[in-house]
Amino acid sequence: MHAKNIARQPSAFKPARLCAALLAAGIALPAWAQSSVTLYGTVDLGLAYSSNQGGASNTYMNSGALAASKLGLTGTEDLGGGNMALFRLENGFNADTGAQSTAGVLFNRQSYVGLSSKDYGQVTVGRQYTPYFQYVGALGPTNVLTGATGAHPGDIDALDTTLRMNNSITYTLPTLGGLQAGVQYGMGEQAGSAANGSSVSAALRYDYQAFSWSAGYTRLKNLANGNTAGSFGNVGSFANNSPVNAGYASADSTQLLATAARYTRGDLMLGLNYSNVQYKAGALSAFSQTAVFNTIGLIGSYNVSPALVLAAGYSYTAEKARNGISSPAKYNQLSLEEVYSLSKRTALYAIQAYQRASGQTLRAGGVGSSIVNAVASVGDSQNGTPSSGSGQFVAMLGIRHSF
């Protein structure tokens, strides 16, 4: 009778009941993996003012000053035994116009897939940030002051989100105590020269109670003739991103070294960071001697209340006297930030920064004798619109909403 009832009412018969019956009978079942996919994003838009963009002041709308406007998907699948598969697809866009932040590249921020193990670490492949950025950048100025006005001049050391490596393989070690570490290799994928257009990055981070410290290294091979659609997805914007380093875009290789530390006590955080950037000349370079930039920075933040956070930072960047430059460029930058959270997802913000440039550097696309006066270019927001002179002030008011 019971069997007949099931036949007449198939909707009452559930797979879960079948599983329970089979288990009760002692029949083994395969493990069904648990998977999840999360949609996330940020819309950030504000009103900006620059005192000097090519010789004139400007008021304009700016997207992503506090946090980049982006839309992404991330997901995991539990493979059992502490192992899982994972992926991330992330697109950056201009909230003011709706345009992609990188034309013709749908997932211009990140696009990778990989496997993770609690015992053996994680391997991911695709378009990714460097371990250098993930660990050192997380403790550097842009995580506190935003890249728009808090990044070191022209983002000379790529501690903002300038570098995203295509064709890259990243291995992240399992966390041991407070120690994290990762290595990455980006393939140039050029026939006849595997190194041409390639990249290497490694970094580590250590956290102990209120103290955090990180150090990292990145080497980019052949910026001038590398595979711009390959290893460095944004090679042009990094090698030629501002007047600070535009004269060295023809470098055969670039080496980035950086370290950062923070100490947090109650509502107060204090941090120190340092970077050394070297543009090394090659046979096709327009300059002959290795160009060296050293930057030291101080950052701090204070939680006035659960809703209000104040932050400030100062950085000093100095170029070494090379390539016929007797009075090398120097950049002093002061950055301020105020953020008031209306909720966990929505915040109002104000940021201000002033930069003073002095000395000389090489002109973009020039040769060793093409020496020009250094001009100001605040943070990472004025790379394409630098000052025509030695000073530049930038201020922004905006709203950020995350979901």
pLDDT tens digit sequence for 142-191: 999 999 999 999 999 999 977 889 999 999 999 999 999 999 999 888 77
> pLDDT over 70 for what percent of the chain?
86
Give mean pLDDT, residues 302-310. Answer: 98
Band of the pLDDT at 4, cuts 50, 70, 90? very low
Q: What pLDDT, on a 0 to 100 scale, did the predictor assign at position 104?
A: 85
**pLDDT over 70 at 76, yes or no:** yes
Positions of E strands within 130-178: 164-172
**For the stretch 39-71, what's the b/e string if a residue is b when 16 or more beta carbons lie within 10 angstroms of its beta carbon?**
eeebbbbbebebbbbeeeeeeeebbbbbbbbbb
**pLDDT over 80 at 228, yes or no:** no
Q: What pLDDT, on a 0 to 100 scale, did the predictor assign at position 195?
A: 78
**pLDDT over 60 at 206, yes or no:** yes
In angstroms, the CA 242 to CA 277 distance is: 15
Which option is the CATH number for 43-402: 2.60.40.420, 2.60.40.10, 3.40.630.30, 2.40.160.10? 2.40.160.10
The pTM (predicted TM-score) of the whole model is 0.86
In angstroms, the CA 158 to CA 242 distance is: 12
Q: What pLDDT, on a 0 to 100 scale, did the predictor assign at position 10?
A: 40
Q: What pLDDT, on a 0 to 100 scale, did the predictor assign at position 102?
A: 83
In angstroms, the CA 83 to CA 118 distance is: 7
**pLDDT over 70 at 226, yes or no:** no
In angstroms, the CA 378 to CA 249 distance is: 20
Band of the pLDDT at 105, cuts 50, 70, 90? confident
Q: What pLDDT, on a 0 to 100 scale, did the predictor assign at position 12?
A: 42
In angstroms, the CA 50 to CA 62 distance is: 11
Residues 89-95: contacts with CB within 8 Å, 24+ apart?
92/64, 92/68, 93/63, 93/69, 94/63, 94/64, 94/69, 95/43, 95/44, 95/45, 95/63, 95/64, 95/69
Give the CB-side neighbour count of residue 97, counting CA atoms within 13 A: 11
| Domain extents in the chain | 43-402
Pairing of strands 346-358, 391-402: antiparallel
Choose the weakest-confidence range: 149-153, 232-236, 340-344.
232-236
**pLDDT over 50 at 237, yes or no:** no
